[in-house]
Amino acid sequence: MPIAVNSEHVDLADSVRSLVERVAPSDVLHEALETPIVNPPPYWRSAAEQGLQGLHLAESVGGQGFGILELAIVLAEFGYGAVPGPFVPSAIASALISAHDPDSPLLADLASGDAIAAYAIDSGLTATRQGESLVIRGEVRAVPAAAQASILVLPVSIDSGEEWVVLDAADLEIEPVTSIDPLRPVAHVRVNAVEVGADMADRVLSNLSRDDARALMSTLLSAEAIGVARWATDTAAAYAKIREQFGRPIGQFQAVKHKCAQMIAVTERATAAVWDAARAIDDARNGDENAHAGFAAAVAATLAPHAAQHCAEDCIQVHGGIGFTWEHDTNVYYRRALLLAACFGRATDYPQLVVDTATSTGMRSIDIDLDPDTEKLREEIRAEVAGLKALSREERLVAIAEGGWVQPHLPKPWGRAAGPIEQIIIAQEFPAGKVKRPPMGIAAWIIPSIVAFGTDEQKQRFLPPTFRGEMIWCQLFSEPGAGSDLASLSTKATKVEGGWRITGQKIWTTGAQYSQWGALLARTDSSAPKHNGITYFLLDMKSEGVEVKPLRELTGNAMFNTVFIDDVFVPDDMVLGEVNRGWEVSRNTLTAERVSIGSSEPGFLATLDGFVEFVKAGQLDQIAQNRAGQLIAEGHAAKLLNMRSTLLTLAGGDAMPSAAISKLLSMKTGQGYAEFAVESFGTDAVVGDLETLSGKWVEWLLGSRATTIYGGTTEVQLNIIAERLLGLPRDP
């Protein structure tokens, strides 16, 4: 999905997409590969009429007064269309000038589209002072759109620092050179004793620091890059649906399916990072001292160019031979991805900046800011939380349960029928008020089914004590022969007078040795298709014939269990929902969806914050620091995916892509934290003593191997993402 989350941004993206589709269809792109692009390109005036050149510029200079986030949305759509010409370089250059002075007289012609600008991220320019003037000399290599621009914004070494200076193209020697991307021409620029004097205040962008300039450039470059990545992902998936080999669509082969799923995963992760980086720059400009725009931009620059290049390469691979032809669009987008990656400068700089910032000034916080008109509701909830805190522990547990606070999204009386905004406020105010709600654990997955399908007697019997934390549940679904393929379960329930006799074996049952009750799936009609004929039972774990055997894991601990069910009697009133409709019960989702704003990191494993502290305390060489920066960027972006999922829910959008991909990526990144730490210990990694630092990380590493298995293996998650998000055909 694109950067846009709220309806206004979605409308902006749709509008720009419509323009791009009209002015840059495939035949125009291929013509531009062979024929020099006219300057300005044919679409330039249409974009100006839509106000795109001045979207991010102040109204005082003829712009629309929007922010960097809105510009990023536009540039991502231009990336999706691989739009030829100087639009993106000119937009970035004007953003640099505006960051120095929003009212700069240099901006009016750029806002109207009457002038074109270019910029460079690195250069070999130096300046010497002569009286009140600067004299600039040197060379800047491979400047995108330099030959099309009338002004160039270039970094210059002045005294002991670096500042961006605006120079007129007419004063420069510009040598066009062959670009890897013919749709984005480049040129070497030589500056031979060009003097900047009378209008130095406008020309030398002294209000723009080096760090801010690089954050701005890398964020906007990243926006175009994710457009390329999204096009490559969409195009590969579309081709995989129709291209047939061996008698079926290639998208049905798991190798292709997983490749496409990985493409959308890295694209979504990079998109979340770019979205946040643009927001951070806008926050900083609005006076937020804790915006951490430099960190956010470095995260985006670590992830986005890689996503563009990786996805373009995989798009070629999915297309096979046709993808390696000049005539196919993959040629256009791969070249654009390579050019963009080069435009960032040295790729290793950005993970290094991520790790340097994270371990010094800190990471950007991940907070959801609600509209001011929600403050009345917040005050009411805050007062109720304060009232709960004043109660004794026993009274508080009862009041929390009876007040619907544990799972507030549930309908009353079990929840509060809370909408997304109220759920977020509750999730914020309970920790703020230092009031803990009973953790539900596995019960959190079972409660909604009881609410939706249970009888009144079942609800009254099970829900209140569960909400008070007095009743612990386990989930008896997986079997030795039916793990990910749950519909193949073989545990059998036979109808007898007054109930059912159930026999079978369950495995990987978390916490069964501590549970009073279990949610059990068993087959009640062996003649029905495998998804049918399954019934959902509520099982008393103390029943005669139930045997729980802890399953010692790789860690040496026993969180999972094997549960043997030998001719166990379950009365009719412990059937949840209808007989033979248990699959529907197990998969139910309530109309009032639950909104999560928490971390997807398991509390018993390595976390992003813990990893940053480890890196901060360690003595790591530059190669290790670079890898650490990559992991920090990936972990931060996984959390951003979770936040975007919440915001999409608030906006009435589809949160599924962000949520599904967040689970996939965050588990793998969590493993990466522990792998990195243990590798850094050298011989001390053999020390398993939990009292030592190495022992703790070894324990986390051992435990992390389960995270890409439980709750749906990585391979199953990839299938789900490919089939449900990309629409690839299911396995036969």
Catalytic (active-site) positions: 593
Bridge partners (DSSP) of residue 519 are 475, 538
Reduce the DSSP state of residue 523 to 3 states and report it: strand
What is the C-alpha separation between 263 and 308, in angstroms, rounded? 9
Q: Is 270:300 a contact under the CB 8 Å cutoff?
A: yes
Strands 534-540 and 133-144: unpaired
Quickly count: other Cβ atoms within 10 Å of residue 251's Cβ. Answer: 27
Residue 427, SS3 per DSSP: helix
| CA neighbor of 63 nearest in space, from 106, 18, 15, 24 | 106
Calculate the dihedral angle through the C-alpha atoms of 584, 588, 590, 591, rounding to the nearest 10 degrees.
Answer: -60
- SS3 string of 219-261? HHHHHHHHHHHHHHHHHHHHHHHHCEECCEEHHHCHHHHHHHH
End-to-end distance of the chain based on CA atoms, in angstroms?
28
Q: Check if the beta carbon of residue 570 is closer than 8 Å to that of residue 587.
A: no
Would you give the distance in Å from CA 136 to the centre of its chain?
43
Mark 116-152 as b/e (b = at least 16 C-beta within 10 Å): bbbbbbbbebebeeeeeebbbebebebbbbbbbbebb
Distance CA 501, CA 503 (A): 7
Tokens of 686: 């053999």
Contact 504, 537 (CB under 8 A): no
Contact (Cβ atoms closer than 8 angstroms) between residue 634 and residue 611: no
The structure tokens listed for 490 are: 């073989």
CB 258 within 8 A of CB 722: yes
Phi, psi of 656 (to 5 degrees): -60, -45
